[in-house]
Amino acid sequence: MNSILKKYKDLKDEITRLEEKKKNMEEIVISILQPLGGSCQTPFGLFTIVTMRSWTYSDEVSALKELLKHTKQLEELQGTARLLETSQHVRVMEGKK
């Protein structure tokens, strides 16, 4: 059992390292794609720059969002909301060494 849990933890750590490496490499890929108009077809796929946006909203919208959050919680407690699905995931918390 411990060997499977260790392998799972090691895999999660490796994925974290690879995600960081990918994030750093993405800046380089973007600098390559920009002069090419934002995309490039290669034998291993079409690479395209995609722009993601983040927004900040007014106090009024933030208050409405908070009200919606509480209203959802109320419906869940009252049984008005309908549960679509449940899923299980594993959380790994660093132990003391």
Find out whether 39 and 29 touch, Cβ atoms under 8 Å: no
What pLDDT, on the 0 to 100 scale, is given for residue 97? 62
Tens-level pLDDT at each residue, the chain (97 residues): 899 999 999 999 999 999 999 999 999 999 999 999 999 999 999 999 999 999 999 999 999 999 999 999 999 999 999 999 999 999 988 877 6
d(CA 79, CA 77): 6
pTM: 0.69
> Three-state DSSP class for 47?
strand
